[in-house]
């Protein structure tokens, strides 16, 4: 185990030497999750990533929705490679990255993605070294997690710098969102959460929903839940899905697009909040899982 830790430290040092212009910091890793399916989490992940990219940030969107991977479908692309090809064909992670609108980079999910945490030491080290290289090439890595939480997805979520919790105003979605938040909180009380209300009828309704979740979270978990913003319910979102084009690209002036743009600007303006006070990098936390 000591040899493995030494190897990983050497990989970090080498990665910084290979990327001197970006060695000042690794990418910020954000896990986008929900308590249940059907709340528009993947669509949010995609369009939020595109919004960051449009604002000049370099973003990698990583589809981690095991068994229900659909980022490539939302983009209207046929996946050439998934993360599994990196292990089965011994290719680099750079080779499986595909290009989307606005220069967005993304990695398509695969049905065998869950096996990453059960690979032998050699394959795990290969995965970590490849991800370490990428961590210095991007400003943000967005992980679109599957609905709910598994033992394996929990490890990836806990490694991220912060979590975006996506829900709707429906009571079942709110209940499941709180359950997911509570589960994560019980494993790491310090990880920051940002709440996004999707498909909101109006801003007032979204604020009331957020307020209820914030109140319960503060009362029972003693945790502050930041309400980052809401995305309005918009018929153009469904139209864009049918056309397999992100709504931010197809209908940039629609309510949902304006909601995403405003939410992204708010996030970037508030990076000095508690969400940025985490001193551990994503890769530092992830490497601990393999000790």
Residue by residue, DSSP assigns 232-286 as: E--HHHHHHHHTTS-HHHH-TTSHHHHHHHHHHHHHHHTTTSGGG---S-HHHHH
pLDDT at 117: 53
pLDDT at 169: 96
* Measured CA angle at 40 (ends 35, 46), to 5 deg: 115
DSSP state of 193: E
pLDDT at 1: 46
pLDDT at 270: 86
234-249 pLDDT, tens digit per residue, is 999 999 999 999 999 9
CA distance 53 to 214: 30
pLDDT at 81: 77
In which order are the strands placed within the sheet that holds 105-107? 98-99, 105-107, 59-64, 140-145, 28-33, 162-167, 193-200, 226-232
pLDDT at 266: 96
Classify 200 as helix, strand or coil: strand
pTM passes above 0.75: yes
pLDDT at 67: 61
Q: Which residues of the chain have pLDDT under 50?
A: 1-2, 5, 8-9, 12-13, 15-23, 272-276
pLDDT at 10: 58
Residues 6+ apart with CB under 8 A from 89: none
In the chain, what are the domain boundaries? Answer: 2-290
pLDDT at 146: 82
110-122 pLDDT, tens digit per residue, is 655 555 556 667 7
pLDDT at 156: 86
pLDDT at 66: 61
The CATH code of the domain at 2-290 is: 3.40.50.300
Q: What is the dihedral of CA 193, 47, 261, 102, to 10 degrees?
A: 130
Chain centroid to Cα 45, Å, comes to 7
């Amino acid at each position: 185990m000591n040899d493995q830790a030494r190897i990983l430290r050497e990989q970090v040092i080498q990665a910084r030497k290979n990327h001197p212009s970006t060695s000042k910091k690794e990418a910020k890793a954000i896990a986008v999750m929900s308590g249940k399916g059907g709340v528009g989490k993947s669509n949010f992940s995609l369009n939020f990533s595109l919004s960051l990219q449009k604002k000049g940030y370099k973003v990698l969107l990583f589809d981690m929705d095991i068994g229900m991977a659909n980022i490539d479908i939302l983009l209207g692309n046929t996946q050439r490679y998934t993360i599994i090809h990196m292990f089965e064909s011994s290719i680099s992670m750079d080779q499986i990255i595909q290009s989307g609108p606005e220069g967005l980079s993304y990695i398509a999910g695969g049905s065998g993605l869950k096996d990453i945490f059960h690979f032998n030491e050699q394959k795990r080290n290969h995965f970590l070294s490849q991800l370490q290289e990428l961590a210095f090439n991007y400003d943000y890595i967005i992980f679109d997690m599957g609905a709910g939480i598994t033992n394996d997805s929990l490890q990836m979520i806990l490694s991220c710098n912060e979590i975006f919790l996506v829900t709707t105003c429906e009571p079942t979605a709110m209940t499941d969102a709180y359950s997911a938040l509570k589960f994560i909180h019980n494993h790491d009380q310090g990880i920051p959460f940002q709440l996004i209300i999707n498909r909101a009828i109006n801003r007032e309704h979204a604020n009331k929903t957020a307020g209820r979740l914030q109140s319960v979270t503060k009362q029972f978990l003693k945790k502050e839940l930041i309400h980052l913003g809401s995305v309005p319910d918009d018929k153009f979102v469904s139209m864009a899905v049918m056309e397999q084009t992100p709504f931010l690209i197809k209908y940039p002036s629609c309510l949902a697009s304006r909601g995403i743009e405003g939410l992204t600007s708010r996030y970037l303006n508030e990076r000095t909040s508690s969400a940025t006070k985490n001193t551990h990098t994503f890769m530092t936390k992830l490497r601990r899982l393999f000790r």
